[in-house]
Structure 1
Amino acid sequence: MRIAITGSIATDHLMTFPGRFRDQLVPDSLAEVSLSFLADDLEVRHGGVAANIAYGLGRLGLTPLLVGSAGRDFAEQRALLEAAGVDTSAVRVSATRHTARFVCTTDLDQNQIATFYAGAMAEAAEIDLPDVVRQAAGVDFVLVGPDDPDAMLRHAEACRRLGVRFAADPSQQLARMKPEQALEMLDGASYLFSNAYEQDLLLQRTGLTADDVLRRVGTWVVTQGPRGVRILSATGPALDVPAVCVGHVVDPTGAGDAFRAGFLAGLALGSSEAEAARLGCTMAAFALESTGSQDYPASPETIGRRAATTYGAPSVPTLLTRAVPR
C-alpha cells in the first residue's frame, strides 16, 4: 500500500522548564496572563507532523511519499529523510520563505506550551494533490495532517474526488480551523486521528457527539498518553490498547506522530486495527525516550522485540517480518 503523508514540515526548537506550568497560573487572573518561563535546555531538531510520520514509516521499511511545503533551508532535512526511506519528491520548496518553526516548552509533568510559525507552510495550498498522485503513479492512502488550513481542506476534497481512502488528522490546527472547516475535512475519512484533548475540543467546538462524528468517519483513533489508545468504530464496540511502558520520558514531542506511523504501517502490512495500535504504541515509546521527532533509533527488529515483551502477542513481531529494514 503506497501511503502519502500531507502536512507540516518544520524545525523544532525544544526547551525544558524545570517546574510546573500549573504552579504559575493564578485562577482568578487567567484573562490577563503574562508569563515567561526560564528554560534550562534548548534542542534544535528537524520536525513537522508530516515529516515525523513519514520518518517513522521509513524506519519500518516503507517508502512513504511526503507532501508538504518547506523553505530554502530544507536541504539537510531532505537528505536525512531520504536516508530513512522517505520519498521527498513531492515536497514544494518555497522561493522566499523559511521552513516552518515549532517553538515548544515542556514542564516536569510533560505538559507543553508551544507556538507554531507557518513560514513556507503557508504556501501548501498551492500543492495540487491530484497532480502529485499522478506523478507518483498512484497512491492508495493519504493522511491529511495539520497544515495550512486551506491546504488541508483541498487535500481532503481531492481524496474524495479521486476516490482515494484517507485519514483526517487536524490535530493542532483544530485551534485555528472554524467548526465547519473541521467537519468538512473529516467527512468521508476512513480514519480520524486525535488525542484525548483534541477529541473533547472537536466535540465542544462542533456541538456534535462522538456518535455524530462516527457517522461521518469510519474509525476514530484517540491517543491517550500513558493510558494507551482507544479506537472508536461506527460498526462495533470500542477497542482499548494499553501503552508500552516507558522507563524515562525524555521528550513527548512527536510521540503522537510516531504512533500514527506505526498504526499506518500496520494497516499497510495487512494487520488488524488492534495489531496496528500495538505497533503504534511501541513506536511512540521509542519516540518518548529520545529528544527530537526524527532521531529515535528504531528498526523492525527492535520494535518487534519490544512489542512482544509488552503485549505477549506474536502478531506484531510476525507482522514486522514483512517490513524491509533500512
Structure 2
Amino acid sequence: MRIAVTGSIATDHLMTFPGRFTDQLLADQLRHVSLSFLADRLEIHQGGVAANIAYGLAVLGHRPTLVGAVGADFADHGARLRAVGVDTASVRISETLHTARFVCTTDTDQNQIATFYAGAMAEAREIDLAAVARRTGGLDLVLIGADDPEAMLRHTEACRSLGLPFAADPSQQLAGLDRPQTRRLVHGARFLFTNAYEAALLRERTGWSEREVLGRVGTWITTLGADGVRLAGSGAPPVRVPAVPPDTVADPTGAGDAFRAGFLAGVARGWPHKRAARFGCALAAVVLETHGTQEYTKIPTGFRGDLAGVRGGT
C-alpha cells in the first residue's frame, strides 16, 4: 500500500518543568499573564506530525512518501528518515526559510505549553500532489496532517480531483480554520483523526452534529489518551479500544502521531479497524516510554507475531 503523509516537518525543542503549571496561575490575573518556568532538562529532536507518522510507518516496514516543506537545515533529518525507509524525494526545500520549530515544556502532570514557528512550512502550498502521485507510480492513501492551511486545502482538493483516498487529520490547525475550510478538509475523508478536544472543536467549526460528520466520512477515529480510542462510523454503534499502558511515561509528545502510524500500518495489512487501532495504541505506548518522537526502533513485544520478519522488529 503506497501511503503519502503530508504535514509539518519540524525540529522539536522539548523541556521539562519540575513542577505544576497550575500552581503558577492566579485566577484573578489570567487576563495579564507573564510567567517564566525554569526547566531542568532540554532535549532537541527531529519532529513534525508528518515526519513522525512517516517515521513510524517506516519502522514498521513500509516505505511512506513524506510531503512537506523544510529549510536547508533539513539535511541531517532527511538522511535519518531515509535510513529507516522514508521516501523524502517529494520534500520541498526552501531557499530562504528555516525548518519549522516546535518548542514545548511539559510539567509533572504531563500538561504542556507549546509554541510552533512555521518557517518553511508556509511553502508547502507550492507542492503539487499530482506530481507526487506521478513520481511514485500512484498513491493508495494520502494522510493530510497539520500543515500550512492553504497546503492542507490544496492537497485535499487534489485528492478529490485525482480520486485518491485521503485521511483528514487537521489537529492543531482546527483552531485557525473557518467553517467552509473545515468542511472542505473533512468531507469525503476515508478516515478522520481527532483527539477528544478536537472532536468537539470540529463539530463547532463545521456546524455539523456527530451524525452529520459520520455521514460525510468513512471512519472517525478519536484518541482519548489513557482511555484508549473510539472508532465510529455511520450506521453502526461506536467501538472502544483500550489504551496499552506504558511501563513509564517519559514524554507524551508524539504519542498521537505514533498511534496514527500504527493504525495505518494495520490498515495497509488489511486488518480490521479495531485490530489496527489496538496496534496503534501499542505503538503510542512505545513513544510514551521514549524521549523524542523519532527515537524508538523496536516494535511492541505483544505484536511480534503480527509483524514477524518486518524490519525494525525484535
Q: Shorter-chain TM-score category?
A: over 0.9
- Give the corresponding residue for 1:314: none
The answer on whether the counterparts of 1:53 and 1:258 sit within 8 Å (CA) in structure 2 is yes
The answer to whether the aligner puts 1:195 opposite 2:195 as a matched pair is yes
Distance 1:151 1:39, change over 3 A: same
Answer yes or no: is 1:306 the counterpart of 2:298: no
Alignment deviations for residues 200-244 of structure 1 (CA, whole Å, 9 cap, x no partner): 222233332211211221111011111111111113111111111
**In structure 2, what residue type is equivalent to 1:17?**
F
Q: Which moved more, 1:57-66 or 1:35-44?
A: 35-44
SS at match of 1:122: helix
Distance in 1 (CA, whole Å) between partners of 2:109 and 2:41 is: 16
TM-score by length of 1: 0.93
Q: 1:213 to 1:322 in 2, by over 3 A?
A: farther
Aligned residue type for 1:320: L
| Counterpart Cα distance in 2 of 1:203 and 1:32 | 30
The one of 296, 306, 310 aligned to 1:319: 306
Deviation of the 1:325 alpha carbon: 4.2
CA–CA separation in structure 1 for the residues paired with 2:171 and 2:294: 19
Specify the alignment match of 1:7 in structure 2: 7
**Alignment RMSD (CA, Å):** 1.4
1:270-281 equivalences under 5 Å are 270-281=270-281
Match in the other structure for 1:24: 24
- SS of the aligned residue for 2:72 comes to coil
Q: In structure 2, what residue type is equivalent to 1:321?
A: A
Q: What's the counterpart of residue 264 of structure 1? A: 264
What is the aligned partner in structure 2 of residue 103 from structure 1?
103
Contact 2:297-2:312 at 8 Å conserved across structures: no
Q: Distance in 2 between matches of 1:297 and 1:220?
A: 29
The two structures have a TM-score, normalised by structure 2, of 0.96
CA–CA distance in 1 between the matches of 2:222 and 2:15?
Answer: 26
What amino acid does structure 2 have at the position aligned with 1:200?
A: A
SS in 2 for 1:203: helix
Question: Is the contact made by 1:186 and 1:192 (CA closer than 8 Å) also made in structure 2?
Answer: yes
Is the Cα–Cα contact under 8 Å of residues 182 and 205 in structure 2 kept in the other structure? no
Give the 5 Å matches for 1:284-303.
284-299=284-299, 303=300
Q: What is the deviation of 1:62?
A: 0.4
2:51 is matched with 51
Change (3 A) 1:289 1:321: same
Residue 82 of structure 2: aligned partner: 82
CA distance in 2, matches of 1:178, 1:37: 33
Report the number of matched residues.
313
Aligned amino acid, residue 239 of structure 1: V
SS of match in other structure, 2:237:
coil
Q: 1:269 to 1:120 in 2, by over 3 A?
A: same
Q: Is structure 2 residue 232 aligned with structure 1 residue 232?
A: yes
- 8 Å CA contact 2:59, 2:311 repeated in 1: no
Contact 1:262 1:276 in 2 (8 A): yes
1:60 aligns with 2:47: no
State the shift of 1:129 in Å. 0.4
More displaced, 288-297 or 29-38? 29-38
Distance (Å, rounded) in 2 between the aligned partners of 1:206 and 1:107: 33
**Farther-moved stretch of structure 1 (241-250 vs 264-273):** 241-250
Residue deviations 1:104-135, cap 9 Å, x none? 01111111111100011010000000111111
2: CA distance, partners of 1:224 / 1:109:
17
Structure 1 gap ranges (5+):
308-316
One-letter identity of the residue aligned with 2:215: R
